[in-house]
C-alpha cells in the first residue's frame, strides 16, 4: 500500500477530533484514530528519554497542557479520561494504585484485605489524614461519599459499583465493601473515580456546584478554575506524605488542538504536554530540550462486527474479513507506522496479560485464504442471510467523521471489496455511532478495542450480556474462563484464563485490531521525576502510564 496518497490534514479537523473523540467516553467504546505522518526508522513501541531525575528540588510552578477539559471534578459526576486523570491525581489520592509490575496496591488506603471467597473487602485507612477543608478522612466520610454520590442513580460510576451492595463502617478507620458476588478484580475499581475520597462536608455545602469546587486529600489544593482556560492548584502544606509535594503551584490548561499544544510547549507557554496522537508523539521526539515519557497502552484501533446479524453471525464471514485486512497498511493510514506495533489481542506487549500464543493465532493477512472463506460462505446454499447462492455480500461500514478515520474506512473498504463484497461507507457522528453500537443497530464499523482496566472488568463487559457487548458475541467457553478470572487473584491462573479467552476471540474474530495507542507526556528537561513516583512504602509505581502523572512526586529544577 506504499503508493497510497495521503492528503495532509488540517489542524482544525484535528481539534475537532481531539475534542470529540477524547471527550466523550472512557476509551473502550470510543473509536480509534491517530494522525500525523508516520515515518519508518525507529522500532515501533514506547521510547522514553527522561533519564535520571537526580535529587528533588522544592518550590516552583509548572503549567501542564492537557488535550481536553473535563466536565466536572466530582467523582460520580465527572468523566475522567486521560486529561482528567492528571488533575484528579493532583487533587485526590487514589485509595489503590497500580505498581510497576501491574499489581494493584494500597496508596491512600493502608490496606485492603478480602475474605476467603472474595465477596467482602475490608479497607483500612491511614490515621490522621485530612481533606483540604480540615474534615478528617475516616470511615464515615467514605460511607457518606459512597451512599450519597457514588451510588446515586445518575452517577457515572454506578455501573462500575453495581455489584457492590454496600459499604459498612466497622470502626473509625475501617470499612467493608460487601459485594453481591465474588470478584477478584475489585481492587482495580478503587484506582478510579470510585476510589478517590472527597470531603462530603465540602460537597454538601457546594451543592450543585461541587464539581467546580473539588476538595480531596491530594498533594495539591484547589485554588481556581476557569473552564476551558486554566485550573490553578497550590501546594497542600499539610499533606499526609512527608516531603511531598515538591511544587508550590501546578496549573493545568486544556489545549484541544494538537499543533498549537505542541507550539505552546516549544514557545515555553507550558512546561509539560500530553498527547495520545501518534503524529504529535513523533514530532515531540524531535524537539530539543524536551524529555518524552511514552507509554504503550492496551487500547487499539480496530473494527467491530455485529454478530447478531447475518451474515456476520457466520464465523467464515468474520474470518474472511479479518484475513483480508493488512494491519501494517491500517497502521500507516492511522499515522502509526514506525510508532505503534500491530495489535493482536486486548493487551499490549507491555501488559502482563499479553500472550505470544494468542498473537500467533490472530488471523494473518492472507487474501487467498480470505477469498476461500468468503466464497465458501456465498456459495453455501444454507448461508445465514438467506440470499441466493453466489450473491455477493453487501453491507455498511460506519465510522465517525475524522480525516484519519475516513482514510481508514476507505482502505478497509478497498480490502473487503477485493473479496467481491459491496461495502458502503457511512460517516456517523461520534455520539450517534456509540448509541448505534450500544443498541447493536449496525453492521460493521470502526471502534477502539482493549483497555487497561482489570481484564475481568474489560472482558466481561465486552463479551457477556450487557450494554458494552457491542459485537453481541458470547461463548460458553469465554464465560467459563471469566468465572475463573472473577474468582482468583492468582496471576498465573488469570493469565491462563485470559489466554484461553484470547484464543477463542482470535478464532471467532468479533473484533479486528490495527495498532496500539502510544501516549506521551512531553516535558521540558527541567521538569523531573515525571514517571518515578513510588507508593508510601517505596514500591515503584507504574510511571507516566496513560499520559498521566502523579504530580505530588514531580519537581522542577529551574
- Beta partners for residue 295, in sequence order: 519
- Which residues have C-beta within 8 Å of that of residue 207, sequence separation ≥ 6? none
Asked if 67 contacts 17 with a C-beta cutoff of 8 angstroms, the reply is no
CB of 77 to other proteins, least distance (A): 7
Instruction: Please report whether residue 264 would count as binding other proteins according to CB under 8 A.
Output: yes
Q: How many of the other CB atoms lie within 10 Å of CB of 94?
A: 24
The residues in 22-41 that bind other proteins, with binding defined as CB under 8 A, are 23-26, 28-29
Judged by CB under 8 A, which of 176, 263, 367, 472 binds other proteins? Answer: 263
* Part of the chain binding other proteins (CB under 8 A), chosen from 17-25, 90-98, 99-107, 508-516: 17-25
Q: What angle do CA 468, 469, 475 make, to 5 degrees?
A: 150
Judged by CB under 8 A, which of 102, 127, 268, 390 binds other proteins? Answer: 268
* Part of the chain binding other proteins (CB under 8 A), chosen from 40-48, 142-150, 264-272, 379-387: 264-272
Instruction: Please report whether residue 124 would count as binding other proteins according to CB under 8 A.
Output: no
CB of 156 to other proteins, least distance (A): 5
Helices (H), 252-306: 258-267, 278-285
Instruction: Please report whether residue 19 would count as binding other proteins according to CB under 8 A.
Output: yes
CB of 315 to other proteins, least distance (A): 26
Per DSSP, 546 falls in state G
Judged by CB under 8 A, which of 9, 261, 277, 383 binds other proteins? Answer: 261
Judged by CB under 8 A, which of 48, 148, 266, 410 binds other proteins? Answer: 266
The residues in 223-252 that bind other proteins, with binding defined as CB under 8 A, are 226-230
* Part of the chain binding other proteins (CB under 8 A), chosen from 36-44, 88-96, 256-264, 494-502: 256-264
Instruction: Please report whether residue 308 would count as binding other proteins according to CB under 8 A.
Output: no
Residue 97 or 447: the one with the smaller Cβ distance to other proteins is: 447
The residues in 91-110 that bind other proteins, with binding defined as CB under 8 A, are none
Instruction: Please report whether residue 208 would count as binding other proteins according to CB under 8 A.
Output: yes
Distance CA 419, CA 374 (A): 7
Instruction: Please report whether residue 287 would count as binding other proteins according to CB under 8 A.
Output: no
Distance CA 313, CA 540 (A): 46
Residue 61 or 79: the one with the smaller Cβ distance to other proteins is: 79
Judged by CB under 8 A, which of 1, 4, 11, 111 binds other proteins? Answer: 11
Q: Tell me which residue of 263, 255, 253 sits closest to 62, measured CA to CA.
A: 253
Count of positions (residues) in the chain: 558
Instruction: Please report whether residue 72 would count as binding other proteins according to CB under 8 A.
Output: yes
Distance CA 246, CA 250 (A): 10
Q: What angle do CA 300, 293, 43 make, to 5 degrees?
A: 60
Determine whether 432 is exposed, middle or buried from the number of CB atoms within 10 Å of its CB (0-12, 13-18, 19+): exposed
Cell digits of residue 212:
467546580
Instruction: Please report whether residue 256 would count as binding other proteins according to CB under 8 A.
Output: yes
* Part of the chain binding other proteins (CB under 8 A), chosen from 297-305, 384-392, 412-420, 432-440: 432-440
Helix (H, G, I), strand (E, B) or coil at 437: helix
CB of 435 to other proteins, least distance (A): 6
- Which residues have C-beta within 8 Å of that of residue 94, sequence separation ≥ 6? 107, 108, 190, 191, 192, 195, 196
Asked if 302 contacts 447 with a C-beta cutoff of 8 angstroms, the reply is yes
CB of 155 to other proteins, least distance (A): 8
The residues in 444-503 that bind other proteins, with binding defined as CB under 8 A, are 461, 467-468
Asked if 110 contacts 116 with a C-beta cutoff of 8 angstroms, the reply is no
Helix (H, G, I), strand (E, B) or coil at 266: helix
Q: Which residues bind other proteins (CB under 8 A)?
A: 10-12, 15-16, 19-20, 23-26, 28-29, 65, 69, 71-72, 77, 79, 153-160, 162, 208-209, 211-212, 226-230, 253-257, 259-261, 263-264, 266-269, 428-432, 434-435, 438, 461, 467-468
Amino acid at each position: 500500500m506504499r503508493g497510497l496518497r495521503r492528503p495532509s490534514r488540517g489542524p482544525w479537523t484535528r481539534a475537532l477530533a481531539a475534542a470529540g473523540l477524547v471527550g466523550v467516553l472512557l476509551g473502550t467504546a470510543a473509536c480509534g484514530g491517530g494522525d500525523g505522518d508516520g515515518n519508518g526508522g525507529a522500532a515501533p513501541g514506547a521510547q522514553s528519554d527522561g533519564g535520571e531525575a537526580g535529587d528533588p528540588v522544592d518550590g516552583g510552578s509548572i503549567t501542564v497542557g492537557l488535550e481536553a477539559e473535563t466536565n466536572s471534578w466530582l467523582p460520580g459526576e465527572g468523566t475522567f479520561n486521560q486529561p482528567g486523570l492528571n488533575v484528579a491525581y493532583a487533587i485526590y489520592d487514589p485509595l489503590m494504585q497500580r505498581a510497576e509490575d501491574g499489581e494493584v496496591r494500597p496508596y491512600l488506603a493502608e490496606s485492603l484485605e478480602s475474605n476467603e471467597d472474595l465477596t467482602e473487602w475490608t479497607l483500612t485507612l491511614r490515621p490522621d489524614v485530612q481533606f483540604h477543608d480540615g474534615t478528617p478522612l475516616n470511615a464515615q466520610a467514605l460511607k457518606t461519599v459512597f451512599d450519597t454520590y457514588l451510588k446515586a442513580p445518575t452517577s457515572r460510576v454506578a455501573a462500575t459499583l453495581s455489584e457492590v451492595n454496600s459499604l459498612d463502617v466497622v470502626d473509625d478507620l475501617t470499612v467493608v465493601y460487601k459485594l453481591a458476588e465474588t470478584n477478584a478484580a475489585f481492587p482495580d475499581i478503587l484506582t478510579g473515580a470510585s476510589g478517590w475520597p472527597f470531603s462530603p462536608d465540602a460537597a454538601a455545602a457546594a451543592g450543585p456546584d461541587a464539581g467546580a469546587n473539588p476538595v480531596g486529600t491530594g498533594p495539591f489544593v484547589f485554588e481556581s478554575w476557569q473552564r476551558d482556560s486554566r485550573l490553578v492548584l497550590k501546594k497542600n502544606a499539610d499533606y499526609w506524605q512527608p516531603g511531598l509535594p515538591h511544587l508550590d503551584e501546578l496549573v493545568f490548561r486544556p489545549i484541544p488542538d494538537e499543533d498549537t499544544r505542541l507550539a505552546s510547549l516549544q514557545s515555553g507557554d507550558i512546561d509539560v504536554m500530553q498527547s495520545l496522537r501518534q503524529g504529535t508523539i513523533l514530532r515531540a521526539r524531535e524537539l530539543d530540550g524536551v524529555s518524552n515519557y511514552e507509554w504503550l497502552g492496551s487500547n487499539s484501533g480496530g473494527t467491530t462486527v455485529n454478530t447478531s446479524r447475518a451474515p456476520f453471525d457466520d464465523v467464515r464471514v468474520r474470518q474472511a474479513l479479518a484475513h483480508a485486512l493488512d494491519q501494517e497498511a491500517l497502521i500507516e493510514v492511522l499515522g502509526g507506522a514506525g510508532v505503534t506495533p500491530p495489535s493482536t489481542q486486548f493487551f499490549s506487549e507491555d501488559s502482563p496479560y499479553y500472550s505470544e500464543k494468542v498473537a500467533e493465532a490472530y488471523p494473518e493477512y492472507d487474501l487467498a485464504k480470505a477469498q476461500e472463506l468468503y466464497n465458501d460462505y456465498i456459495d453455501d446454499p444454507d448461508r445465514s442471510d438467506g440470499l441466493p447462492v453466489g450473491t455477493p455480500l453487501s453491507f455498511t461500514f460506519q465510522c465517525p467523521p475524522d480525516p484519519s478515520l475516513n482514510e481508514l474506512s476507505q482502505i478497509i473498504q478497498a480490502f473487503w471489496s477485493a473479496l467481491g463484497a459491496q461495502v458502503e461507507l457511512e460517516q456517523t457522528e461520534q455520539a450517534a455511532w456509540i448509541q448505534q453500537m450500544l443498541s447493536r443497530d449496525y453492521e460493521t464499523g470502526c471502534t477502539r478495542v482493549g483497555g487497561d482496566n482489570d481484564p475481568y472488568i474489560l472482558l466481561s463487559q465486552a463479551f457477556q450480556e450487557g450494554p458494552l457487548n457491542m459485537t453481541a458475541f458470547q461463548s460458553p467457553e469465554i464465560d467459563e474462563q471469566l468465572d475463573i478470572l472473577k474468582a482468583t487473584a492468582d496471576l498465573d491462573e488469570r493469565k491462563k484464563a485470559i489466554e484461553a479467552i484470547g484464543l477463542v476471540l482470535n478464532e471467532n474474530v468479533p473484533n479486528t485490531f490495527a495498532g496500539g495507542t502510544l501516549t506521551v507526556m512531553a516535558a521540558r528537561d527541567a521538569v523531573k521525576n515525571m514517571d518515578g513516583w513510588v507508593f508510601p512504602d517505596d514500591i515503584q509505581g507504574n510511571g507516566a502510564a496513560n499520559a498521566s502523572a502523579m504530580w505530588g512526586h514531580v519537581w522542577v529544577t529551574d
